[in-house]
Amino acid sequence: MPELDCFLGYRIFWCFIYADDIIILLPTLCGLQEMLNVCTRYSHSHDIVFNTKKSVYTTVGKKHIM
């Protein structure tokens, strides 16, 4: 899935996790939405609740349309 590949040097990263924080990195908004869908399905099946009041997003670079 090339839209889910986010390279840092020669390594592929999708997320960074520290304590109870998650940073999701994707090169496209469509890829980000797909990863959020994965997180949603995982949270439902494992009784995990994400705090949407503390959730934010930012984009860098060209404007992308979903």
In a domain, 59, yes or no: no
Please count the other Cβ atoms lying within 10 Å of the Cβ belonging to residue 51.
Answer: 7
In a domain, 65, yes or no: no
Q: Where are the beta strands (DSSP E) in 1-66?
A: 6-8, 11-13, 15-18, 21-24
47 half-sphere exposure, CB direction, 13 A CA radius: 0
pLDDT of residue 45 exceeding 70, the answer is yes
The token duo for 48 is 């995990």
- In percent, how much of the chain has pLDDT > 70? 73
In a domain, 62, yes or no: no
pLDDT of residue 12 exceeding 80, the answer is no
Mean per-residue pLDDT, 30-35: 84
Q: Which domain holds residue 45?
A: 2-54
Give the per-residue pLDDT at 8: 65
Give the per-residue pLDDT at 5: 64
pLDDT of residue 66 exceeding 60, the answer is no
In a domain, 66, yes or no: no
Q: How far apart are CA 59 and CA 26, in angstroms?
A: 10
In a domain, 38, yes or no: yes
Structural domain count, the chain:
1
Q: How far apart are CA 20 and CA 29, in angstroms?
A: 23
Give the per-residue pLDDT at 41: 94
